[in-house]
Amino acid sequence: MTEPLAVRELAAALDAADPLAAKRAEFDLDPAVAYFDGNSLGAPPKHVAGRLAAVVREQWGGRLIRSWAEGWWDAPVRVGERIAPLVGAAPGQVVVSDSTSVDLFKTLVAAVRANPGRDEILLDAATFPTDGYVAAQVARLTGHTLRRVPLDELSAAAGERTAVVLANHVDYVSGRLHDMAEGTAAAHRAGALMVWDLCHSVGAVPVRLDGCEVDFAVGCTYKFLNGGPGSPAFVYLARRWQETFDQPLAGWAGHADPFAMEAGYRGAAGVGRARSGTPDMLSLLALDAALDVWDDVDFAVVREKGLALGDFFFRCLDEILPGADVPTPRDHARGHQISVRDPGGEPVMAALHERGVLGDFRPPDVLRFGLAPLYTTYAEVLRAVTTLREVRESLH
């Protein structure tokens, strides 16, 4: 179809005025593809492949076992410090380790242990599934009850039985942004601890973990942080909880003196206590390299562009696909994704892929379009909506 002239010109004007336009050249992206899945797998910064090969040759090969003492062993905390500013954390509270699922298990068990005399875990009912699976296991092992509550009712649901509340900062299906300050305060008023899952918000929306007095948080690094497929997750432990953090995956890497090989566990001082086994160094150093793209970026500009891309997505829908069923909030209480319900389901997304527009599909009927301000253009947003209309016309 022909794109309406007004939005085509608007896209060009917005791209021309984009203060992040030069950033796209730092990423390895096929120019034939419009990539809308940075909310699931961020694109690789161009320098990562070479940096990783150099790590293998120079650090692993060249220095061999000596590299553990020359930066590797401390890398989980060092890389955590690079993520801390992106989540509003003062230094010493973020460590990179394991997967989100595993980190959730650690923090949930530690949270219920830190809040004894209560027997309930409250969970955002719309959570990404793994959080629910893990929370159910934690409840089972600790003798707690897991109660799933719609996000809007979480704050009111927290009560005197509630040990901990677990919620997603940005909903993975709708892209809706939850109020971290309000949710955390409500949990605290009930005497509960608050754990936030930041997977869909870190690198996209402003996160103020310290400012909201959050207790614990976990997040993933392979979405908006572009750390690579399955790159290790991170844990935030508020400083006030570190000394007593009592976690179930108490492996040797979290020990106060790991190379003393003591028979008994003594947790490390600081956030390193959230570590478990030997850290996965190649993936961690790929993430370390990928984080370089943030060094010269003002996060406020990133957020502003993410919202502007979303606003323009809505504008294009209004002009090209009026009446589209969009669960993503039109106001700015959202992350960097636009979701469109389509009764055609997964085949619609497959057809978009065939036409070079790469989003993804979430059951039962949601097409997700991630907006990565570091590389997504307004022209691509227009292309996505135009192509979606073409696909709908061809399939229906």
Which residues are documented as binding site for pyridoxal 5'-phosphate? 100-101, 128-131, 197, 200, 222, 252, 278
Judged by CB under 8 A, the residue of 251, 270, 345, 356 near its own copies is 251
The answer to whether 161 is a known catalytic residue is no
Q: Which of residues 125-144 bind its own copies (CB under 8 A)?
A: 125, 128-130, 132-134, 136-137, 141-142
Tokens of 366: 């949601």
Q: Name the minimum Å distance from CB 261 to its own copies.
A: 5
380 binds its own copies (CB under 8 A): no
Active-site choice (223, 275, 305, 315): 223
Judged by CB under 8 A, the residue of 118, 176, 255, 334 near its own copies is 255
The enclosing H or E element of 303 equals: helix 299-320
Angle at 121 between CA 186 and CA 240, to 5 degrees: 60
Cα 107 to Cα 112: distance, rounded to the nearest angstrom: 9
Tokens 């990539």 locate to 35
Span interacting with its own copies, options 43-51, 308-316, 333-341, 372-380, rule CB under 8 A: 43-51
User: Mask 276-315, x = binds its own copies (CB under 8 A)?
Assistant: xxxxxxxxx-x-----------------------------
Active-site choice (27, 35, 172, 222): 222
Q: How many CB atoms lie within 10 A of CB 147?
A: 17
Across-strand partners of 325? 341
User: Mask 325-364, x = binds its own copies (CB under 8 A)?
Assistant: ----------------------------x----x-x-xx-
Q: Name the minimum Å distance from CB 36 to its own copies.
A: 9
| C-beta of residue 249 within 8 angstroms of C-beta of residue 108 | no
Q: Name the minimum Å distance from CB 8 to its own copies.
A: 26
Count of residues in the chain: 396
Residue ranges of the binding site: 100-101, 128-131, 197, 200, 222, 252, 278
The answer to whether 222 is a known catalytic residue is yes
Cα 395 to Cα 336: distance, rounded to the nearest angstrom: 28
263 binds its own copies (CB under 8 A): yes
Is the Cβ of residue 211 or residue 230 nearer to its own copies in the bound state? 230
Active-site choice (37, 103, 171, 197): 197
* Distances 244 to 34, 78, 139, 317 between C-alpha atoms, Å: 47, 22, 20, 51
The answer to whether 223 is a known catalytic residue is yes
Q: Which of 172, 65, 178, 190 is nearest to 118 (CA)?
A: 190
Backbone CA torsion sign across 262, 266, 272, 277: positive
The answer to whether 361 is a known catalytic residue is no
Q: Which of residues 180-209 bind its own copies (CB under 8 A)?
A: none
Tokens of 14: 């917005």
Q: Enumerate helices (H) and strands (E) in the chain, giving the number of each.
A: 12, 12
Judged by CB under 8 A, the residue of 24, 87, 105, 375 near its own copies is 105
253 binds its own copies (CB under 8 A): yes
Tokens of 90: 């003062």
Tokens 């801390």 locate to 84
| C-beta of residue 361 within 8 angstroms of C-beta of residue 343 | no
The answer to whether 234 is a known catalytic residue is no
Q: Name the minimum Å distance from CB 253 to its own copies.
A: 8
